[in-house]
A and B are shown apart, each in its own frame.
Chain A
Amino acid sequence: MNGDKIPAGAAAAFAAVALLVAIALIGPWATPNDIASLDWAHVAAYPSLTGAHWLGTDRLGRDLFARTLEGLRVSLAVACVASAISLSVGIAYGAVAGYAGGRWDHFMMRFIEVLSGLPLIFFVIFLTVIFGRSQYLLFFAIGAIGWLTMARIVRGLTLSIREREFIEAAVASGAGAGRIILKHVVPNLMGPVIVYATLTIPQIILFESFLSFLGLGIQEPHASLGTLIAEGAGEMEAAPWILLVPGGVLAVLLVCLNIVGDGLRDAVVGRE
């Protein structure tokens, strides 16, 4: 960030996210309970920090702390993979469109315009109905979320980078378009790309949780935060913590990611 002051709020939010990720990763070693074992002695037990189950159990006696951590891990894992997909697709698409220019660019951007207008969720639901609930479909669909904005940004940047001298030099030295894009254009995009990637991640997590909540996303035996929240919503009146724990974790995760993303964007884009 070249010495720009990062606002305190964003730094705190980043710390919170890092903490959550750390907890998620070391989780399995932190608690004696695992996600699948059913403790019939403590069905729907209230959270108690001194007891066997720190955050209580669900209707089937599964430890909520362990399940929530697992859910967090699943959500984060899906987010990472899907982000990687949407980043690659978006960067490739945008760089090609920006570099090619002219009619190619025009049509590629029109395509994006049309797609952006329509909420993805409906098509994903449609596709799950047709193709069944396969995990590959899920990744593909979720990855399809972020690439539109990324493609737009990358295309704009590519257009301006294209005019710079070192590109001319590369062309003059006989480098092919593909090579130029890979070796010269893409490395210069990294700054803003990272910023927008951080903004896409919460969107992706949200989308995946949404689908999982509805039952169309992550399937048994895995559970993401969305699935856990759906379970909790059903038990709300009798055992509210089953909802509150994963719900709280997801809320905090999303809020903090948004704050970090906003802060980064203000710091980088605000400077330009």
Chain B
Amino acid sequence: MIRHFIKRLAGALPTLFIIITAAFFLIRAAPGGPFDQEQTLPPEILANLQTAYGLDLPVWAQYGRYMGALAHGDFGPSFKYKDFTVTELIAQGFPVTLKIGTLALIVALGLGIPLGAYAALHQHSAGDHAAMSLAVVGIAVPSFVVLPFLGLVFGVYLHWLPVAGWEPGSARHLVLPVIALCLPPLCIIARMTRGSMLEVLRSQYIRTAFAKGLPLRVVILRHALRPALVPVAGYLAPAVASIMTGSLVVESIAGLPGIGRYLVQGALNRDYTLVMGMVIIYSGLLIAMGLAVDLLYAWLDPRIRFGR
């Protein structure tokens, strides 16, 4: 299994490398781009860039410098925020995004799986139909519609939760953003678990488990759940991608100081270094997720572990 993992890692790293390289050269090649000589930049920024990128050096040397700096976790200076480096901004924003993203994922799994299992066990019941109908809505409606709507109901009308804003350590400010973020993956996971569970329950080995006189709880938890979750494991990487994408909008609406909001601000301000840094972070995260999911697959199904 270790060999399997290393093989996957070896495949993933070049992808990241290609992304970074492509982005690097794209920035330099673009007309009207940041390195275009006609651009007039404030002298401090220009000075920062000069030091960071050695703009008088040939392109290949610049590339080498950039990659070297990257290896040290240095993303260069921000284009717009003259007092900050991109690395600092990332360090500030990452924990926030990580917090809401992880919470959203946990809620999506923690509610989605039991919901799907319940629907499977009570197939064709009113609860099943209701849950699945709501799931369709939850999947289709985008987070930038859901979050303001939730804010309207729970914030403006009911005054239960704050509509936007952020205080370090505050839980109340996280509730609505996390709900808006977790909703689409939650619904997808619920539907997936339901379908998968229904199929697993038709298996011969489940029939054997019942024939042994095992109670339903044991049959579901010990015999049916793990195989039923295999498709969900496959969905984890897309789920994280969905949450990452959603965080852009959710952080912007709710005013949360995470890297999603920085990315959006950076895009609107044409802060190239910032955006590039964010893109690299997000890509790296996603690739890491892909690897983690691979490992999870192997654990879930022993047949893969032994390479059959």
Residue A161 is within 8 A (CB to CB) of chain B in the complex:
no
Q: Name A254's closest neighbour in chain B (CB-CB).
A: B140
A118 to B287, CA, bound (A): 8
Q: Which of A176-234 contact B (CB under 8 A)?
A: 202, 206, 209-210, 213-216, 226, 229-230, 232-233
B274-302, CB under 8 A of A: which get 1 and which 0?
01101100110011001000000000000
Q: Report the bound CA distance from A265 to B217 in whole Å.
A: 34
Does residue B192 face the partner (Cβ distance < 8 Å to A)?
A: no
Is A125 located at the chain interface by the 8 A CB criterion?
yes
**Are A251 and B141 in touch, CB under 8 angstroms?**
yes
Q: Mark B95-137, 1 if CB is under 8 A from A, else 0.
A: 0000000000000000000000000000000000000000011
* Chain B contacts for A257, CB-based, 8 A: 140
* Given contacts A118-B283, A119-B282, A129 and B140 within 8 Å (CB-CB): no
- Main DSSP-derived SS at the A contact region: helix
- Check A229–B270 contact: CB distance below 8 A: no
Check: A130 CB closer than 8 A to any chain B CB: yes
Does the CB pair B27–A130 fall under 8 Å? Answer: yes
Residue in A114, A210, A232 whose CB lies within 8 Å of B249 = A210
A119 and B286 within 8 A (CB): yes
Docked complex Cα distance between A126 and B241 (Å): 16
Residue of B nearest to A131 (CB): B30
A57 close to B (CB within 8 Å): no
Contact between A215 and B140 (Cβ–Cβ < 8 Å)?
A: no
Question: B152, B278, B283: which has the most chain A beta carbons within 10 Å?
Answer: B152
Instruction: Name the A residues within 8 Å of B5 (CB-CB).
Output: none
Verify B152–A255 contact, CB threshold 8 A.
no
- For residue B142, CB closer than 8 A to chain A, the reply is yes
- B139 CB–A CB distance under 8 Å: yes
The answer to whether the Cβ of A236 comes within 8 Å of any Cβ in the partner chain is yes
Cβ contacts under 8 Å, A213 to chain B: 144, 249
Partner of A122, one of B163, B237, B278: B278
From B31, B142, B271, give the contact of A129 (CB < 8 A). Answer: B271
Min CB gap B26→A, angstroms: 6
Is B211 positioned at the interface, with any CB of A under 8 Å from its CB? no
Q: Which residue of A lies closest to B26 (CB)?
A: A130
> How distant is A16 from chain B, measured CB to nearest CB, in Å?
13
Chain B contact-residue range equals 35 or more
Bound CA–CA A258/B187 (angstroms): 14
Contact call A202/B268, Cβ cutoff below 8 A: no
Nearest residue (CB) in A for B27 is: A130
A144 at the interface (CB under 8 A from B): no
- B248 on the A face (CB < 8 A): yes
- CB-nearest residue of chain A relative to B16? A118
B66 in the interface, Cβ–Cβ < 8 Å? no
Q: Report the Cα distance A210→B248, complex, angstroms.
A: 10
- Alpha-carbon distance between A58 and B91 when the two chains are bound, in angstroms: 39
**B271 engages A250 (CB within 8 Å):** no
Asked if residues A119 and B30 are in contact (CB atoms below 8 Å), the reply is no
- Known contacts A129-B267, A247-B149; A236/B156 CB under 8 A: yes
CB distance from A129 to the nearest CB of B (A): 5
B68 sits at the interface (CB 8 A): no
Q: Which of B30, B142, B283, B287 contacts A209 (CB 8 A)?
A: B142
Contact between B275 and A126 (Cβ–Cβ < 8 Å)? yes
The chain B residue with its CB closest to the CB of A255 is: B140
Closest Cβ of chain A to B82, distance in Å, is 18
Q: Is the CB of A210 within 8 A of B144?
A: yes
Residues of chain B within 8 A of A101, CB atoms compared? none
Whether A262 is near chain B, meaning CB under 8 Å from some CB there, is: yes
Chain A residues within 8 Å of B, Cβ to Cβ: 114, 117-119, 121-123, 125-126, 128-132, 202, 206, 209-210, 213-216, 226, 229-230, 232-233, 236-237, 240, 243-244, 247, 250-251, 254-255, 257-259, 262
What 9 pairs between A and B have smallest CB-CB spacing?
A130-B30, A258-B140, A254-B140, A255-B140, A233-B148, A119-B241, A247-B145, A251-B141, A125-B267
A-contacting residues of B (Cβ < 8 Å)?
15, 19, 23, 26-27, 30-33, 136-137, 139-142, 144-145, 148-149, 151-152, 156, 163, 237, 241, 244-245, 248-249, 252-253, 263-264, 266-268, 270-272, 275-276, 278-279, 282-283, 286-287, 290
